[in-house]
Structure 1
Amino acid sequence: MDRYIASELIPPFLFGIGLFSSIGVAIGSLFEIMRTAVEVGLPISLVLQVLLLSLPQYMAYAFPTSVLLSTLLTYSRFSSDSELVALRSCGVSVYRIVLPAILLSLIITCITFGFNEYVVPAANYQAKVTLDKALNKEQPLFRDRNILYQEYGKVERPDGSKEKVLKRLFYAERFDGQQMKGLTILDRSQNQLNQVVTAQAGQWNPIENTWELFDGTIYEISADASYRTILRFQHQKLQLPRTPLDLANDKRDYNEMNIAQSIERLEIERDSGDDQKVLKLRIRIQQKIALPFACLIFGLVGSTLGNRPQRTSRATGFGISVVMIFGYYFFTAVGDALGLTSSVPPIVAAWLPNLVGLGSGIFLLFKVTR
């Protein structure tokens, strides 16, 4: 029975991957790339290369939806052909009937996690680099201009209350991979603006963990906002965080980073004290973990819905799959909005659609068994 059910689940699953991946590429990348190709005159070989590199991202999204389509269509077909009635009459419970779909969904969950962790970020990054190079917009692997770092911290007010304010602002006009040029540093670490540093160049000293600044001026400001001291220097060392250099060397966006890289980026953002960026990145990391488990949720829901005694055509099963997919991503958007407004913790925001789906699947399973 297990071999039979598994053999019936695999073909519609593969069909779903091809279908949903093709739709995703067509909507998400094809039209934009074709428009760019026509405007710039890109060769068709390069267009195909970029499209192929964009495909893994949509395949990762297609794995859960394909599991839903496969289980729903397969078990609905079993129900329509009275095969479920035959199994039940032999004493096989509903729990045992849906078990092969759950186990197969668990395997696909592991595959999706590995695929989304090791293949998708690298492919997305390579697609961006390939397209930029073709458009003569090849950029260095680091941020080469306008590096801005804002460090926040809590200060105590005269009334004893604590408030989060900007403590330090670091700005560099250019970065060549070794030195930053055109530096301006505003220091408010003493509850007020007490120092302004400008320098022609600066670089990080990894041995002493300090910034070495060259050819600049330090303006020390007194409490009445007047210049207290003006010091010109040719070479000066300052105890500042390494974070601006980390930000300059990190140019990948969220879709081009795996979980390990995202956690490293989280530590960088956490050093800056920008709670909103930290919160958003924490939600995105949890979403990377939660997405593969949607395969397991959809496997449970699809196999349970297919076990209903009503006869369901393939067109109806496909329509139910589309509705449930939209429902899943609707709750994803709701959880994202609740998380970004700090209404719920990041882990709840990311796992909300899975929790709703799990609750629905368990409810439907108990209802079918009765």
Structure 2
Amino acid sequence: MIINRAFYREAAMTSLAIGLVLLVVMVLMSMTLLLGRAVRGDQSEAVVFILLGFQTLAKLDVLLPLAFYLGILLTLSRWYRDSEMTVLAACGVGLMHFMRPVMMLGLIFGALTLVGAFYFTPLATRQIENVKSESSHRSELGAISPGVFTEAQGTGRIVYAEKIEENGNLQGIFVSSLEEGKQGVLVAKSGHPYTDSKTGDKFIALHDGTLYEGEPGEAGYRILEYNVYNLRIEPKKFGEAPVPTAGLPTHELLRQYVSARFRDEGRLFNAELHWRLGKTIALFVLALYAVVLAYTDVRRGRMSNLFVAIVVYFVYSNLLGIAETMLQNERVPRAAGLWWVHGGMALVALYFLRQRAHDRPLISLPARVGRR
């Protein structure tokens, strides 16, 4: 049918365009946070874009339902504003006719959301934890950022380099450490990292500098100038990062849930399963609200229905977050899961859809009784 093809084409293109805009906004926000942490020295600059990629992958199952929701809403809203829905209604094509193409298009977006929620998001979560763990256990040299005083974990050294060249050479080096009860400060014009071929130990060769050792004013205080000083880089032990519940592969999550369903820890696996499935279910429930809230006319502002739709989305998503927390704390039965939220929101949407299909107000207020 020509109408359905036109709807598929416009709704799909609008949804993809909105998804792209949301993706760009999310990437920019994440990049700002990650670069801020890198500047503070909380993580290496080398892992910023790796973390950005995995964080973006982990959010696709959230962006897709929202993009589809707004895409359906804006498509039908334009048809209402341009009187296309009025013409179609005069030809016998009512609002309920669009439920089938909306749900058919929803199957495609729902399948992508399902794959993202059950595969890509757990995968990205695991990789993010591994990258963070590797970054926190990186060597002192890898933790140094130019122009930032960096405290090495475990050794207590404070290292500063004015400039780090592409080949790894350092300029304007300052090192402060406490060894054998003596405070030592190393200052050097330049330095370069190297690895001992016999022992495999890593060092920084400091050139043309001065060593200040001891407390100023005491008898043991001394100042030594040197041409080359080899500063040993303490190795760090790296252990595999623990996998959070949100990062468990789906088959492992199901196995853990089956084995622990009668124990207390089973509540966490149960909540995670419902949360992953709930993202796909929410897409279809939001599609109902998009059809309902798309109605507009020339007397209304173009943004009024969009504002209400955003409010509905935030109410729905917050209810799901609260319900997941209640499920984790066993405030609701495990079998109930998040179904009571999905069911309640779906019933309200179906009621509104019935009212809209019969050209009635969404909320019928009782008529006022006049005075005698």
Q: TM-score with structure 2 length normalisation?
A: 0.62
Residue 306 (structure 2) aligns with: 318
Is 1:106–1:295's contact at 8 Å kept on the other side of the alignment? Answer: no
Deviation at 1:317, TM superposition (A): 4.0
Aligned: 1:20 with 2:22 = yes
Q: Which amino acid aligns with 1:126?
A: Q
Residue 291 (structure 2) aligns with: 303
Pairs aligned (count): 257
Deviation at 1:315, TM superposition (A): 3.1
Change over 3 Å in CA distance of 1:341–1:43 after alignment to 2: closer
Distance 1:304 1:114 in 2: 28
Deviation at 1:269, TM superposition (A): 4.0
Residue 251 (structure 2) aligns with: 260
Deviation at 1:337, TM superposition (A): 4.1
Structure 1 segment 109-188 matched on structure 2, within 5 A? 109-136=110-137
Distance 2:52 2:291 in 1: 33
Q: Which amino acid aligns with 1:96?
A: H
Task: Structure 1 unaligned segments of length 5 or more: list them.
Answer: 139-247
Deviation at 1:263, TM superposition (A): 1.6
Q: Name the SS of the counterpart of 2:11 in structure 1.
A: helix
Per-residue CA distance 1:189-247 (angstroms, 9 max, x = gap)? xxxxxxxxxxxxxxxxxxxxxxxxxxxxxxxxxxxxxxxxxxxxxxxxxxxxxxxxxxx
Larger Rg: 2
Aligned: 1:83 with 2:84 = yes
Q: Name the SS of the counterpart of 1:346 in structure 2.
A: coil
Deviation at 1:120, TM superposition (A): 1.7
Is 1:331–1:352's contact at 8 Å kept on the other side of the alignment? Answer: no
Distance 2:339 2:21 in 1: 26
Relative to structure 2, which stretch is displaced further, 253-262 or 71-80? 253-262
Per-residue CA distance 1:143-172 (angstroms, 9 max, x = gap)? xxxxxxxxxxxxxxxxxxxxxxxxxxxxxx
Q: Which amino acid aligns with 1:288?
A: R
Q: Name the SS of the counterpart of 1:349 in structure 2.
A: coil
Q: Name the SS of the counterpart of 2:129 in structure 1.
A: helix
Deviation at 1:18, TM superposition (A): 2.5
Q: Name the SS of the counterpart of 1:348 in structure 2.
A: coil
Distance 1:64 1:256 in 2: 21
Aligned: 1:59 with 2:50 = no
Is 2:34–2:48's contact at 8 Å kept on the other side of the alignment? Answer: yes
Residue 176 (structure 2) aligns with: none
Q: Which amino acid aligns with 2:355?
A: K
State the identity as a percent: 18
More helix by share: 1
Q: Name the SS of the counterpart of 2:92 in structure 1.
A: coil
Deviation at 1:319, TM superposition (A): 2.1
Deviation at 1:48, TM superposition (A): 1.4
Distance 2:14 2:300 in 1: 16
Q: TM-score with structure 1 length normalisation?
A: 0.62
Change over 3 Å in CA distance of 1:310–1:257 after alignment to 2: farther
User: What is the aligned-residue RMSD (CA, Å)?
Assistant: 2.8
Q: Which amino acid aligns with 1:100?
A: P
Change over 3 Å in CA distance of 1:293–1:9 after alignment to 2: same
Structure 1 segment 134-283 matched on structure 2, within 5 A? 134-136=135-137, 251-267=242-258, 269-270=260-261, 274-275=263-264, 277-283=265-271
Aligned: 1:9 with 2:11 = yes
Q: Which amino acid aligns with 1:263?
A: L
Is 1:25–1:55's contact at 8 Å kept on the other side of the alignment? Answer: yes
Deviation at 1:251, TM superposition (A): 3.0
Q: Name the SS of the counterpart of 2:125 in structure 1.
A: helix
Structure 1 segment 348-367 matched on structure 2, within 5 A? 348-367=336-355
